[in-house]
């Protein structure tokens, strides 16, 4: 079931190669929002810090860590605003820079034994064959 980012991008690329530029942007936004929602909601919760630290940026991956703990809905809404602002050929990055996010992704928590991003990539990627 796990899909890596390279495979995911290839699937989406094959799908979007048949679309007009404005359609590609809509697909990019829809896919990014689906990924963000799945990743945030699957992130294990102890204090909520890991869930709050998912950040969406355009063109460059964030390297920061956010301060306050916020709800999953607020994390998603903040990211959704960035996703809505994408234009042209900009890339959308979803990142979490907490030092313990990689162990969580690798199954350290019983709340998400298969991780978050790999599962989300597989689920959302299944829409593209």
Phi, psi of 36 (to 5 degrees): -60, -50
Site of tokens 């350290």: 108
Q: What does the pLDDT look like over 89-117, one tens digit per residue? A: 899 999 999 999 999 999 999 999 999 99
Instruction: Read off the pTM.
Output: 0.90
- Distance, CA of 22 to CA of 117 (rounded, Å): 27
List the chain domain ranges. Answer: 5-128
Joined together, the tokens standing for residue 20 give 């007009």
Examine the pLDDT at 67 and tell me if it is beyond 50: yes
Strand partners for 55: 95
Joined together, the tokens standing for residue 101 give 């996010």
What is the chain's Cα-based Rg? 14
Site of tokens 């994390």: 75
């Amino acid at each position: 079931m796990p899909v890596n980012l390279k495979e995911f991008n290839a699937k989406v690329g094959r799908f979007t190669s048949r679309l007009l530029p404005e359609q590609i942007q809509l697909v990019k936004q829809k896919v990014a929002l689906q990924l963000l929602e799945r990743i945030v909601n699957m992130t294990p919760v102890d204090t909520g810090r890991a869930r709050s630290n998912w950040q969406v940026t355009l063109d460059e991956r964030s390297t920061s860590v956010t301060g306050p703990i916020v709800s999953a809905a607020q994390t998603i809404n903040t990211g959704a605003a960035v996703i809505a602002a994408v234009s042209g050929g900009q890339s959308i990055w979803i990142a979490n820079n907490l030092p313990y996010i990689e162990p969580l992704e690798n199954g350290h928590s019983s709340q998400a034994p298969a991780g978050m991003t790999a599962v989300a990539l597989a689920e959302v990627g299944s829409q593209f064959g």
